[in-house]
Structure 1
Amino acid sequence: MPADLHYLSLDEVARRLKARKLSSVELTGAMLRRIGEVDSTLGSYATVTADRALADAARLDAETEAGTSRGPLHGVPIAVKDLCNTEGVPTAAGMAIHRGNVPSRDATVVARLKQAGAVILGKLQMTEGAYGAHHPSIPAPLNPWNAAYWTGSSSSGSGAATAAGLCFASLGSDTGGSIRFPSTMNGLSGLKPTWGRVSRAGVFPLAESLDHVGPMARSALDAAIVLGVIAGADPEDPTAVGLPVPDYAASIDQGVRGRRIGLATNMPGLDEDARRALDGAVGALTKAGAAIVEVKLPDGFDQGARDWVPLCGVEAAVAHDATYPSRASEYGPVLAGLLDHGRRLSAMELARMQLRRAALTGELNGLLASVDLLLMPVMGRAVWSTEALLAAGRDPEVVAERLRYTAPFDLSGHPTLTLPGGMTADGVPVGFQIVGKAFEEGLILAAGHAYQRETDWHSRRPPREGRGMRPSHMA
């Protein structure tokens, strides 16, 4: 087996498995050994299900030998964020209060991955309750590119593990940017689907009308493969839309020739790295045949980011009503602060924000009616060091600034794909977003694939990983 097997694309290992050039047991064993070597430093896994993964891999190899294939994920080791219920495996959602929670059934997305033949390596670490900070008793995963830098939240473990070659793809969730932040900080291709495209049944909520579940992978093609498995209607989740699920991977070569891609003229606060990534995207997509046109973001765009915290807070307060404030001492200060904020919100304030949210959604629909796609930064300040993040604190205006280019698309539910588009002088990845119309994930994935045919940012890997700093958590 090649020494860098763990860094092959999901698509490549799937083809090798199908051709029987590689067995799932061999592949899973190699990944588990790498987790044992590397994750003692990174801390990306909350739980590693080694015995279960090897047993599943053996069963899937037997199916392969019998001529049965469950599809492109058959035998491929992946991992899921620790807010997705997994039968018989602890699911804590990053919360000390839920350390003993062992679900009796799988979340729909986990069940669909298993049905498609994926080997689940374990559960990935995350911030407390999927908000903005890790519980004080749970160490935050490290960024494999540069440990001095933020890993992103809340899907921090998903970002670190996928970038460091500890799984071939992962599931994350995004309520205000939690797929996109760790994707940009770790050099991944992360897809926030349209709200309702992927079931949330069995997924611990932060704010249900804002929560999206989606894939985090090393390329647009790999993300397309995973999305095709997890998307679709679900009787367990009445908000999961019953539209047919396209074969996203099969249509990914459609390209962007003749497509109109909007680039806003009113995007304040972009630093040099963020602008460089956007300029590179413009060049590559133009070379691929797209036409870049100037557009203007709606007047309510920035207000949407400011409204996001209280809107998220009030829905989070509902989600935690059984344990907060009755067990407030078991919560970390950041999540507790959000819940307190939400509980103080008046009905009048909430109504005004909901009306602004509806107006913003309509304005973004109108903007996207004039173009095929939008090109956007992920953050105005392209990357954050851990030191700078701590110094910035939780001031609402600072948080709104960081959420400026992500949260509005959670409020509106539009799909976005984050792609790596550069590196800082400190060797940290920089990303950008492609935004599409509702349920047009196929087009944004095709645009991302076209971009990645012209560039190589997605094929770069962290230069090294430290070892031996933290104990891994095996189960």
Structure 2
Amino acid sequence: MRHPTEADELRYSDLQNLPCLDIATLAAAIRQREVSPVQATRAQLDRIAALDGRLRSYAHLTADAAMAQAEAAQAEIAAGRYRGPLHGVPLAVKDLCATAGIPTAAGMALHEHRVPTEDATVVKRLKDAGAVLLGKLQMTEGAYADHHPSVTPPVNPWNAAHWPGMSSSGPGVAVAAGLCHGALGSDTGGSIRFPCAANGLTGLKPTWGRVSRHGVFELAASLDHVGPMARSAVDAGLLFAAIAGRDANDPTTAADPVPDCAAATGQGAQGLCIGFDPAWNGDGVDAVTRAMLAGAVEAFRSLGVRTVELRVPDMAQAVADWFPLCAVEAAVAHEATYPAHRDAYGAVLASVLEAGHAVHGIELQRIRLRRMALRGRVDALFDSVDLLLAPVQPFAAPTVAEMQALGEQPGRVSALLRYTCPFDMTGHPTLTLPGGFTPGGLPLGFQLVAARMDEATLLRAGAAFQRITGWHRRRPLD
């Protein structure tokens, strides 16, 4: 085994910008000693210094700690103690994942100086895999819909006038712009899927209970999902494999074995069956998004996938129910600080908490009953198909101004959530994939949905799709 040379550095610089490599490529280079963890981490920190003053994706950059971790990883690898494909790879996590000795504010001014004494389980598992933690990524206040007034929101690296997604806005921007090789985000109503679609990324929302929430700041306990945001389905699988699995500190985690993600992403998609609902996928959806979905269907057919039309359950009620359910659960999550510290909250999150306090117990039970019924109906879809294909959102690449005005237009917020929050309500896993670009050069994304605990089929199909398409390989700022 040899150490990297200047020639190796030049080769990787010439072939691809090192910070923009996908995890799988960088991991192979690190394992073969063509690139060292120290070189990879220094390259990331240099790029962050050059770009993040404008993009504002990081809430807390931990440069010194990252270099120390990179040096430790480099020494371990040199001694033959290679831990696996995340060893020495620079990553970052959304700022709701607790990090020992590092502030974890969850986008809230109230928690600006909160410093946990232990890592969240997902952070610990990344560290156990040998990953280098670059820092904490910016997010909306409390992981809801809007950034706190004291926070300058991250900027979409494809076009500053356009929405970077929510609430995992920092992870979406950082991974897309080459400011980390992958990240962890969270999804309660669409917050992995929206920023992945907006920034041209691949994002896995695992089955609820598949990934521990211990040490992750809570928005709505029964809706929150933690998952990877990456540049490919292969990378998402590598991150998922590291963080998934039962955790004694989170009794809601499932005991099901974690699938062999490497095997899944290498299988190809032939023989799978993907269903889609033409009416649900088309009603109220703009022409650019409909064309992108049609292209995705054709691409899957070319891979030997059978596609069938089906009818999804009524999702409108699920969207309507998501709002009061999320509000009630958020009110419980914040009961120690709201309303006691009302002045420290932004208007949007405060209004949600107020709404949660106003929900009647009888109505909450009705919501729970409808939710259980919806879960069963969605489960039944997978008796006849392996995957469901759907948009992430009905309108492509909205501007920041359009999103700021969304609440002033009746029905538009519900329209935004119509394809995302139902699968937080049911807990089914989803995979967001880049599917094209608007005429103005902004990314488009769609999602696949699978049966609960079947992330392997999502990753299998996603990797196959990405082997014949190049959407996920395009980078902003190139």
Q: Which residue of 1 aligns with 2:211?
A: 198
Query: In the TM superposition, what is the alpha-carbon distance from 1:256 to its structure 2 partner?
Result: 1.7
Counterparts of residues 142-153 of structure 1 (less than 5 Å): 142-153=155-166
The match for 1:281 among 296, 321, 335 is: 296
Q: Deviations over 1:56-75 (max 9, x none)?
A: 11011110111011111000
Does structure 2 retain, via aligned residues, the 8 Å contact 1:156–1:182? yes
The Cα shift of 1:297 comes to: 1.0
Check 1:331–1:394 CA distance in 2 against 1; reply closer, same or farther (3 A cut): farther
- Structure 1 position 125 matched with structure 2 position 134: no
2:191 aligned residue: 178
Superposition deviation, residue 395 in structure 1: 6.3
C-alpha distance in 2 between matches for 1:450 and 1:141: 31
Deviation of 1:251 (Å): 2.2
1:369-448 superposed matches below 5 A: 369-393=383-407, 397-448=411-462
Q: Give, in whole Å, the separation in 2 of the partners of 1:409 and 1:224.
A: 20
* Distance in 2, Cα, partners of 1:364 & 1:266: 17
Match of 1:467 in 2: none
Where structure 1 has 5 or more consecutive residues not aligned to the other structure, the ranges are 465-475
Task: Figure out how many residues of one structure are paired with residues of the other and give that number.
Answer: 463
Match of 1:27 among 40, 45, 68: 40
Match of 1:52 in 2: 65
Q: CA deviation at 1:7?
A: 1.1
Q: Distance in 2 between matches of 1:251 and 1:344?
A: 46
Q: Deviations over 1:205-225 (max 9, x none)?
A: 000000000000000000000
After superposition, where does 1:7-406 map in structure 2 within 5 Å? Answer: 7-267=20-280, 268-299=283-314, 301-393=315-407, 397-406=411-420
TM-score by length of 1: 0.96
Q: Which residue of 2 aligns with 1:469?
A: none
Q: Secondary structure at the match of 1:121?
A: strand
Indicate the structure whose relative CO is greater, using CA pairs within 8 Å and at least 6 residues apart.
1
Query: Which digits, 9 at most, give the CA deviation of each residue in 1:92-140, with x for residues without a partner?
Result: 0000000010000000000000000000000000000000000001010
CA contact (8 A) 1:94 1:130 kept: yes
SS of corresponding position for 1:338: helix
Report the residue type matching 1:372 in the other structure: D
One-letter code aligned to 2:81: T
Shift of 1:396: 7.2
Structure 2, unmatched stretches of 5+, are 1-8
| Partner-residue secondary structure (3-state), 1:341 | helix
8 Å Cα contact 1:276-1:422 kept in structure 2? no
Residues 395, 98 of structure 1: alpha-carbon distance in 2 compared, 3 angstrom cutoff = farther
Cα RMSD of the aligned pairs, angstroms, is 1.0
CA distance in 2, matches of 1:343, 1:394: 24
> TM-score when scaled to structure 2?
0.96
Distance 1:246 1:263 in 2: 25
Shift of 1:341: 0.8
Deviations 1:216-263 (A, max 9, x none): 000000000000000000000000101111221222122221211001
Q: What amino acid does structure 1 have at the position aligned with 2:151?
A: I
Q: Is 2:143–2:167's contact at 8 Å kept on the other side of the alignment?
A: yes
Whole-angstrom distance in 1 between the partners of 2:347 and 2:285: 30
Q: Give the Cα–Cα distance (whole angstroms) in 2 for the partners of residues 53 and 394 of structure 1.
A: 43
Q: Determine the C-alpha separation between the residues in 2 that align with 1:247 and 1:261.
A: 22
Of all paired residues, the percent bearing the same amino acid is 56
DSSP 3-state at the match of 1:369: coil
Instruction: Provide the C-alpha distance between the structure 1 equivalents of 2:360 and 2:412, rounded to a whole number of angstroms.
Output: 23
Paired letter, 2:305: A
SS at match of 1:376: strand
The whole-number CA distance in structure 1 between the counterparts of 2:161 and 2:322 is: 28
